[in-house]
């Protein structure tokens, strides 16, 4: 377990560096969202894990039904090709949710690692560091912790830490639509009646409309 944890840690660090190198702007948006809304991101991340588990359960039930139908078609001899095609296509039912979840987890972890790296560099007074360097520092800090807990005991230490840690980044990933949009913080209660900045610019200089009567 120690050898596998060390190997996968190195692979994940290399993958994280590659992600921030290719998708630097989306990673930065997710990182800024984590810093702006940590609690909301954490709650949304946990809900995402729960929703993904429910969707996979429904997909598994659908997969079983498709396999039963395919088995019935295969028994007719004439419809064997259709039955085999259904069995091959049924596997695709289980793929979308895990692929999207894995992509969100990786991007969220890398974005959170960039934030952790920037905080660590700031504490060390190391000056300005490029996002790639900050992410590398954050990965070197966070990944070995997960690997160590995995070596000690995966069930009671490793998996809970990974789920809780990745929930923060995963929620921010979905807040920003995988880093394609800036993070939008909820407006304070007193600002609900205020117009957006774009609408205020459009109305600037326009006279107020008359509500009725003669001035």
For 93, counting Cβ atoms within 10 Å of its Cβ (0-12 exposed, 13-18 middle, 19+ buried), the class is middle
Alpha carbons 196 and 215: distance in angstroms, whole number:
30
- Beta-carbon count within 10 A of 124 CB: 10
The string of pLDDT tens digits covering residues 149-159 is 888 887 777 88
The string of pLDDT tens digits covering residues 76-103 is 767 677 777 777 777 777 788 888 889 9
More confident residue, 197 or 50: 50
pLDDT class for 186, splitting at 50, 70, 90?
low
The pTM of the full predicted model, rounded to 2 decimals, is: 0.76
């Amino acid at each position: 377990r120690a050898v596998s944890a060390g190997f996968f840690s190195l692979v994940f660090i290399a993958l994280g560096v590659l992600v921030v190198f290719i998708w630097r702007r989306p990673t930065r948006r997710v990182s800024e969202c984590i810093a702006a809304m940590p609690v909301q991101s954490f709650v949304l991340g946990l809900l995402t894990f729960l929703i993904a588990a429910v969707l996979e359960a429904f997909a598994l039930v659908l997969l079983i039904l498709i396999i039963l139908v395919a088995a019935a078609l295969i028994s007719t001899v004439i419809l064997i090709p259709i039955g085999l095609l259904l069995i091959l296509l049924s596997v695709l039912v289980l793929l979308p949710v895990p692929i999207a979840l894995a992509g969100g987890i990786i991007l969220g972890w890398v974005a959170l690692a960039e934030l952790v790296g920037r905080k660590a560099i700031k504490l060390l007074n190391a000056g300005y560091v490029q996002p790639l360097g900050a992410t590398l520092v954050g990965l070197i800090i966070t990944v070995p912790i997960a690997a160590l807990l995995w070596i000690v005991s995966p069930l009671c230490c490793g998996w809970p830490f990974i789920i809780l840690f990745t929930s923060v980044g995963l929620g921010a990933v979905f807040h920003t639509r995988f880093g394609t949009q800036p993070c939008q913080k909820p407006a304070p209660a007193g600002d609900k009646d205020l117009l957006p900045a774009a609408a205020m610019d459009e109305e600037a200089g326009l006279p107020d409309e008359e509500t009725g009567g003669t001035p």
